[in-house]
Amino acid sequence: MESPQEKLRSWKVEATNRMGIAHLSLAHQSIDVPGVLIFGSPWERFGRYNHYLVIRDDLKTKIIPAHAGELVPGSTEDLVHVLKHFQPKLQRPNAPMTLELDPTNLCFSKDCGGHCFSASYRSLAPKAHIPTETMVDLIQVFSRNGGRILRFDGGGDPLSHPDVRNGFLPELAHQLGLKTTILTAGDAIQTTNLERIGAANCYLRVSLNAAKDETRQLFHGNKSRVSTLFQQIESFAGWLRQNNPSLPIGSTFLISHLNFKEVLDCAIRARDSGINHFSVRRVLGPATLRPFFTNIQLIELEELLQRVRELDTDQFRVFAPWRTIPEEDLNPSKKDFSASTCWQSSFKTIIEPTPENGYKTQLCGRYRGNGIGQKMQMEPLSESHDGKRWVKDWQDSFSTYPISRPQLPQTCLSCIDRGFIRLMDQIIDFINPPEHDFVILHLNRNTKYTEE
Ligand code: SF4
């Protein structure tokens, strides 16, 4: 396939930075674009752009807010590939671009300071898991139908599943050409085959949530020590430097009244142990899950976050929320944002275990556990024990699910995926696939919109 640079050359378009400003030479005109073009591989670009500059084959351009976190561990290249295979009549790709696969409800942490969105449904079936042979079918069918990005996620902790922990399933996904990540609380990291996972090019992202062992134990409700976590990560980072130096390690810090005073110390320890990405997260969801901060605490927290932001370098990329911590989730049914359809559930999906060790396919992360504990509940798209049929069931859901994808943004009471939905709404409206060929460049504009 032609690279974006080759395509631009064939369209006689030149895209450069001149004196710190993005510059486009199109056929009959030259334009300065506010911002700086970001080049490089997907991980080099990670966290360095906050907008897409889309150039169509008729040389019309459009700037759209975008960031790598919407695709991680995939990249714009995956999005472009999937858009090229978009089925306009059906308003979907053949299979989701991204599968968030929750292998198990089991988690060695208790409820993360009372803020865990999955605690209420996990407690109903805490040992539910998807058997390995079903997981193999799910992953193979996903890859065969054009899926690109696989996130071992939860729900529970994916490292509680033995065939994620020993690296077998990440390795299988890698052999099938998928980009993978494991999002973990890290409690099981000592018994995890990190080298096999690293060799499978799988991006590990660990929830740190503390700088001190006592705070980590209070927050996670177990005996797991953050100091052990840092030691294991340091050793893994050393292994990666020797064996797979382009693969970064990620981390998150979920901000709560219990741990916020340690966010800066945690970031420094993360940096010093070889972690490459540090992302501070707000607790999302209904008020019952959210932490309460006094005004004085919020001021102290903002000062700490500013110092965390100042740690940002190319080797240690920092992402801190630009929304205020208490800000509520958006309510699309009240028009907090609008979109022609729910592109999130058209390009991505969730699979999670059922109590009988089958699996359910869900609309989006908000409806994990059918949305128990959230503002709104929603039935799964499908449910089965047969891992080979899920993509077909997912395709059928576009005509059989009682609420259509275009109705969802007028129906849901709380949504955490506005960024991706708005991004896709604007891209698809602009390129009207397959009408226009297009190239996407990455732009860093001087705006506050820089979250991961
Ligand atoms: S909450 Fe509703 S609108 Fe938002 S991503 Fe999920 S299904 Fe789509």
Regarding whether 313 and 177 lie in a shared domain, the answer is yes
Where is the domain boundary, 290, 314, 334? Answer: 334
| Nearest atom (ligand 1) to Cα of 332 | 3
Regarding whether 61 and 136 lie in a shared domain, the answer is no
Each residue's pLDDT expressed in tens, for the chain with a length of 452 residues: 688 889 999 999 999 999 889 999 987 889 999 999 999 999 999 999 999 999 999 999 999 999 999 999 999 999 999 999 999 999 999 999 999 999 999 999 998 888 888 888 888 899 999 999 999 999 999 999 999 999 999 989 999 999 999 999 999 999 999 999 999 999 999 999 999 999 999 999 999 999 999 999 999 999 999 999 999 999 999 999 999 999 999 999 999 999 999 999 999 999 999 999 999 999 988 888 899 999 999 999 999 999 999 999 999 999 999 888 888 889 999 999 999 999 999 999 999 999 999 999 999 999 999 998 888 999 999 999 999 999 999 999 999 999 999 999 999 999 999 999 999 999 999 999 999 999 999 999 976 544 43
In a domain, 351, yes or no: no
Long-range Cβ contacts of 389-394 (<8 Å, 24+ apart)? 389/141, 390/138, 390/141, 390/351, 390/359, 390/361, 391/94, 391/95, 391/141, 391/142, 391/145, 391/147, 393/361, 394/95, 394/96, 394/349, 394/361
Regarding whether 76 and 47 lie in a shared domain, the answer is yes
What domain count does the chain have? Answer: 2
363 lines ligand 1 (CB under 6 A): yes
In a domain, 372, yes or no: no
Question: In this structure, which amino acid lies at residue 334?
Answer: K
Regarding whether 111 and 57 lie in a shared domain, the answer is no
**Which residue's alpha carbon is at the smallest distance from atom 2 of ligand 1?**
412
Q: Which domain holds residue 10?
A: 4-86+433-444
Regarding whether 295 and 203 lie in a shared domain, the answer is yes
82 lines ligand 1 (CB under 6 A): no
Give the other-Cβ count within 10 Å of 24's Cβ: 20
In a domain, 426, yes or no: no
Handedness of CA 67, 72, 76, 82 (dihedral sign): negative
Regarding whether 266 and 149 lie in a shared domain, the answer is yes
366 lines ligand 1 (CB under 6 A): yes
Torsion-angle region of 221 (φ positive above 0: left; ψ -120 to 50: alpha; else: beta): left
Q: pTM of the prediction?
A: 0.96
Regarding whether 152 and 238 lie in a shared domain, the answer is yes
Domain of residue 278, CATH code: 3.20.20.70
Where is the domain boundary, 279, 300, 334? Answer: 334
Regarding whether 50 and 150 lie in a shared domain, the answer is no
Regarding whether 102 and 81 lie in a shared domain, the answer is no
In a domain, 226, yes or no: yes
Give the distance (Å) from ligand 1 centre to CA of residue 344.
7
Exposure string for 368-400, b = 16+ CB within 10 A, e = fewer: bbbbbbbebebebbbebeebeebbebbbebbee
In a domain, 220, yes or no: yes
CA distances from 335 to 65, 412, 421, 425 (A): 19, 10, 14, 15
In a domain, 411, yes or no: no
Question: CA 174, CA 45: separation in Å to the nearest integer?
Answer: 22
**Which residue's alpha carbon is at the smallest distance from atom 8 of ligand 1?**
342
Regarding whether 51 and 11 lie in a shared domain, the answer is yes
332 lines ligand 1 (CB under 6 A): yes
In a domain, 399, yes or no: no
Where is the domain boundary, 290, 307, 334? Answer: 334
Give the other-Cβ count within 10 Å of 288's Cβ: 10
In a domain, 59, yes or no: yes
Regarding whether 222 and 110 lie in a shared domain, the answer is yes
- How does pLDDT run across 353-371, given as a tens digit for each residue? 999 999 999 999 999 999 9
Regarding whether 162 and 32 lie in a shared domain, the answer is no
